[in-house]
Every structure is written in structure tokens, then in C-alpha cells.
Chain A
Amino acid sequence: MSWADAFRLAARSVLRRPGRAALTVVAVALAAALFTAMLTMAATAQGRVLNQLAKGGPLAGIQVAAAAPDPSQAGVDDPTKGAPKPIDQAALDRIARIPGVDVVLPIVTAQSLVAWPGHTATGGDVVGPNNSGSVVFDQLVGIDLSRLGDFPVTLSAGRFPAPGSVTQVDVTPVLLARYGITGTRTRSVVGSQIILGAPRGFRSSDGTPVFRSRWTKATIVGVVTQQAGSGGILASLSLARASQQWTAAGDPSVDPDAGSSPYAGLFVIARGLDSVPSVRAAVEAVGYSTSAPENLIATVERYVHVVEIVLTGIGVIALAIASLGITNALLAAVRERRREIGILKAVGARDRDVLRSFLIEAGVMGALGGVIGTVLGLALARLVAAIVDGYLTSQGLAGVHVSTPYLLGIATVVGATLLAVGAGTIPARRAARLPAREAVEL
């Protein structure tokens, strides 16, 4: 019997019992769908989370404050800081040379008046002679916007400012709450224009202290939750640095809080998760207070591992169910087709011909179920992602977007086919070994 004959025989067998074949294909499809989802979950957990933890990123970052370390706070994730200590370029360079440090990202903060025409603030430091509420006092946080992935910053609406832009900013929900803007209404601020004023203290010729501000116009392009620095406005380093330098150049007797540290803090990314403790210790030896979510990372790792085990378990169960379904369907087919098998053998079909026919039948059902299951699994993933995305954005958190894992789809179809062939081996061998006379007599 040729391969073509074996294919024809298998196809005829499937078409002769369309109901059973369809049910078997559905069983494989459901298993494949579950398998696709589980495999994607495991891959995502591994790729997006564990690798992130292992190779650096916000969770493996160490925040360095412009303050001396407090010896009594050793080993604490978020310790109380010691006396203020400026971070200058020399200190940054020294920290960058510490073994185990991948990159050092500066954070610049600047005092800022925020004037928002048409809006009235009710909370926080409302400034101005008449306290009309349109101008509040806040902080501008400047980071390298080309390295956003390394900072603990989460976008909830709009987009991030363009790197280097001096006219685009993001605002935080904390700032918006001062204007009474909360929940889904935060999205509406994207596109608004605010005026930012960096104050500088002067003394006029008669000795009177006065403040003169450096005002800039900025468009709100997004809403973010950020922990890079203390402040309600996220901007480029250029904008924050210009504001910080304007304020720092003022008369310290008029504004003692102007601050002389060029950098409000640093974000140090260690080369690996294991390097975080040693890098922290080295930075503190240089003379700066640090904070890092070491305990948090360890806890998250444990949670991620649990999630992995659960997902793997579900995937294995799905595989087992699919295998049993195919085996059961083919065993039933063998029982029903004993006479047919006997006739085939009586007219000269060999054991391996019968074996081949059953394996092809199993493989066809597996492949068909795999294709349908993969499509179903991806559609299910998109549906879940859409629901989750809606929930997250309504909570002011960053949403998720679906990408199509083509390689995974192909692997699932191939895997389902091989699984079906494997599951069909026992029934196929039983059919192949069936003596011709016994089969015909039944």
C-alpha cells in the first residue's frame, strides 16, 4: 500500500464517521487552545518578567538619593535618608565605575510653579497673592526619556514626552487630583497647555527679597505614575535642568531651599539581580543613601515561580486530556473497523500499511485540531487582553497590547499533530496486529 492509498483510506475513514471525527477534532482543538494560552503564559512570564529581573530594569534598579546614608538603616529597602549631600558629575562618574553597575541614569528635579489657565486647584500649595487656585507649587522631575524602560514609570494615558523636548510634559494623577481630576477624567487633560515657572530668589537694590520666575509653556502629552523622583510633572532632562539651574542661581538668603545639587538622585541599574546588594553597598560606601526593592523582588520571584508551576500543570493536564481523547477515538475506530482491517489484510495489506493508515488518520485530526485550537487560543488571548486592558486603564495603570506569536502558532500545530500521532500509536499497533481471520470472523 502506497502513502497515497494510506491517505485515501484515512480520509475515507474520517468522512465515514464525521460526527466522531468532528468531536475528536474539537477535543484536540480545545486542548490546543488551552495549550497555546498556557505556553504563551509561561513564555511571557519567563521572557517579560524573569528576564527583566535577571538582566536589570526598573525592578533591579537602585535609587540613589542626594543624601548621606543612615547607618542604622542598613538592609532596609526604602531607608530613612541622612543629611543632604549634593550629587555632582564627579560622584556620578565614580558610581558608574563601580563593578556590577550597568548604567547610571541621572534624575533632575526642579521647583516649579504650575499655572493652568481654566483650572482651579484646591489641594497642596496654592500660590499667588490672591490664592485664586490657578497656580500651584510642585516639582518637575527630569529623566532621560530615551531610557524610559529603565525607570519606574508607568503610562496610563497619552504618551511620553519626546526625548529632549522642552515643550512636552506628562503629569501624574497626584497633581491632577489637586485640580479635582480623577479616574477616567484624567485622559481628558492630554493636549492641555500648562505654564511652568521656575522661581529664583533675588534681592532688589533696596534689599527687598523678590522672586522672579522663568516661565515656559508646555503641552501635557500623557498621564503617568512615576517613582523616579518626588514631583507631579515628568519632563525631559533638558527642561528640568534648565529650570533647576535657574532656581539654583538665585540668592540663597532669599530661597534657602533652592538646592545646589545638580542631580536630585540617580537611578543605577545593576548588571544582574545578584549584583544589586553589592552595588548598593558600594554606592553607600561612596557616601550616598540608596533604596532598592530587594525584598520585593525576592517576593515577586517566588510569586512568579508559583504562577509558572500552576501554568505548567494546567498545560500538562490539557495535553493529557487531548491524548486520552485521541486514543479513545482511535480505539473506538479500531473496534468498529475490525472487519475492514481483516478484509484489508485478506487482500494483501501488511501490518505496517494498517499502522500507517491509522497514524495518518490520527495525524490529520491532530493537525486540524491544532490549527483550530491555535486560532481559538489567540482569539481568546485577545479577548482577555481587551478586558484586562480596559480594567487597567480605568484604574489609571498602563494597558496591555496583544501581539501575534506566529512561531508559537506553528509550534502548537506541529505539536498537536505529533501528539495525535503519538496518542494514536497504541490503537494503530493494535489494529495492525489484528489477525486477518479473527477480524473477518467478528
Chain B
Amino acid sequence: MRAGHRIRLAVSSVVVLVLAGCGSTGTDSVARAQPAGPRSTYVAVGGSDAVGSGTGDPLLDAWPQQFFRHVLPLTTVFVNAAEPGSTVAEAITDQAPLAVSSRATVVTVWLVSGDLLDGTPATTYGTQLLQLLTTLRGRGTTTVLVGNVPPLAQLPGYPACLNGAVRVDRGFRCPEELPGAAALTATSAAYDQVIAADATRSGAVLVDLRSAVATSVARGGAPFLDPSGAELSTAGSTLVAGAFAAALPKGDRHTA
């Protein structure tokens, strides 16, 4: 602000106070001290779908961001640890430490596309996922939600790789040899089994995305994937956020 303007402002303030015959009370404009209240921390562990790469506005439309905005309490802090193309093995080293150091109270995990399209065997996937979930659960005070595999046609990346794409995202590369649909269907069913088993063993909450997506498709809902078939669409992100929200225990959600 220029000095001349500041002088005029200061002098006009003096004159205003003087003419008004009073001073600003000031007390009405300051709220009473408000306790911050207990803060909860939500960490999203995932791949490119959690980053919102296929949505219209990734920083606002990514499904963890929607989940955070609409479901969790006002005082919640949200950290999106997701990395595009991440597998469970990579999440253990790259994402889980951040969740632990952030003292997360709620964690969502949805990591299926990378491993499934990379051909990670279900048993290996199950072992790694259990390690990840156990780490995230900590002493059992952290609520961990884990999503299963959507129907194959709606699996982010699969339609894109099926159409011959090589690199569908900056962190994800289609396999050189894409397994056949029957094999992938069988593997995804096996994934679902180990995800459910790992959720039970670790005390995590299973989020049945397969049913949620299948129901939405059957009802003729908005496309789950973006036009390239590589990422979740904005509507798909909303659907996933809704499924995770429905599975969230009442004690962790926004009550207003």
C-alpha cells in the first residue's frame, strides 16, 4: 500500500471515529476461544485412481478427496499418500510409512489394478496385502478400509491395455502380454478371496466394490471409467467414495 494512501486511510479513520463519537467495540468481531477438539487423520493408500488422474478436477474429484470432504468430520486432516501405478509391494515401502508417521486414524486401501495387470499371483498379493494392512492397523486403533476388485470390464487400466495401449499413466505400464479375460477373471476372484481373508485377519473393514460397481452398471449408471479406460471417471470416483463411506464405521464419520 502506498504511503500516501495509508496516510489518507489512517487520517480518514481518525475522522470517522471522531465524527461517529465513538470507537469500534471490537468485542463483537472476535469469537470466543474455541477448543480445537480431537483431530483425526485420514490417509489414502492407493494408485492412480486415488490420485484422480481420470477425473475432471483431480485435486477435488479424486475419490479419497470426495470421501474426505463429504464423510469425515470437519477437524479431520487428510493426507493422500497414493502414487500412480503403485502395487501393494510398493505401497508397503512408499506409502505405509507416511500413514504410520501421520498417526492415521482412518486409512483407505484400494490397490488391485497394478498387481492384477502385472500378473502378481494371488498368494503373493495376499501375503503382501496382509503385511500392509497389519502395518496400517498398528495397535488396532486405526480404522482400515480395504476395497476388493471391481468387475473385470470396469477394472481401471484393463480396457486401455486391452485396446493396445502401452503406457496408460505416468506410473503405470501395461504388461507386455495381457492375460486373457478368463485368466484375469479367475485371478480377480482369487484376489477377492485373499482380500476378504486379509481383512478379517487384520481387523480391516472390507469394502465390496465388486458389488457396488456391478449394481451401478446394471442400473445404467454413469461410466465408471474415463473414455480411455485407464482411469476412474469423476462419476466412478464418486461411486467408489460412496462405497467406502457406506462401509465406514459410524464412530469415524461426520455426525453433523
A residues lining the B interface (CB < 8 Å): 36-37, 40-42, 44-45, 47-49, 59, 77, 113, 115, 117, 127-130, 132, 134-135, 145-146, 148-149, 155, 159-168, 195, 197, 204-205, 208, 210, 212-217, 219, 221-222, 227, 238, 242, 293, 295-296, 299-300, 303-304, 307, 311, 377-378, 381, 384-385, 388-389, 392, 398-403, 405
Contacts and interface: CB of A to CB of B under 8 A. Distances in A.
B32 interface: yes
A163 B33 contact: yes
Interface stretch (B71-79, B111-119, B138-146): B71-79
Interface of B: 1, 3, 6-7, 10-11, 14-26, 28-36, 39, 53, 56-60, 65, 68-69, 74-81, 83, 90, 93-94, 98, 171
A204 B83 contact: yes
A238 B6 CA distance: 31
A135 B18 contact: no
A296 B24 contact: no
Given A166-B36, A216-B77, A307 B60 contact: no
Given A41-B19, A300-B11, A311-B18, A162 B31 contact: yes
B123 to A, nearest CB: 23
A48 B7 contact: no
A216 B65 CA distance: 11
B7 A303 contact: yes
A128 B57 contact: yes
B10 A296 contact: yes
A198 B156 CA distance: 29
Given A165-B34, A398-B24, A132 B57 contact: yes
A132 B1 CA distance: 31
Given A45-B14, A400-B17, A213 B60 contact: no
A310 to B, nearest CB: 10
B167 to A, nearest CB: 14
- Please give me the 6 A-B residue pairs with the lowest Cβ-Cβ distance, nearest first: A381-B21, A162-B34, A385-B20, A40-B21, A41-B18, A215-B78
Contacts of A210: 83
B24 A162 contact: no
B78 A59 contact: no
A148 B30 contact: yes
A423 to B, nearest CB: 26
Nearest to B30: A160
B19 A204 contact: no
Nearest to B10: A300
B33 A44 contact: no
Contacts of B78: 214-216
Contacts of B83: 204, 210
Contacts of B80: 212-213, 215
A303 B14 contact: yes
Nearest to A224: B29
A97 B135 CA distance: 48
Given A117-B69, A216-B78, 10 more contacts: A129-B53, A163-B33, A165-B34, A167-B74, A212-B79, A293-B6, A300-B14, A381-B21, A381-B22, A400-B17
B1 A227 contact: yes
Given A130-B56, A300-B10, A303-B7, A217 B76 contact: yes
Contacts of A135: 57, 59-60
A356 to B, nearest CB: 37
A40 B22 contact: yes
A146 B99 CA distance: 34
30 contacts: A40-B22, A44-B23, A45-B17, A77-B3, A128-B58, A128-B59, A129-B53, A160-B31, A161-B31, A162-B33, A163-B33, A167-B75, A204-B83, A205-B90, A205-B94, A213-B79, A215-B77, A216-B76, A217-B69, A227-B1, A299-B7, A307-B11, A307-B18, A377-B21, A381-B19, A388-B20, A399-B24, A400-B16, A401-B28, A405-B22
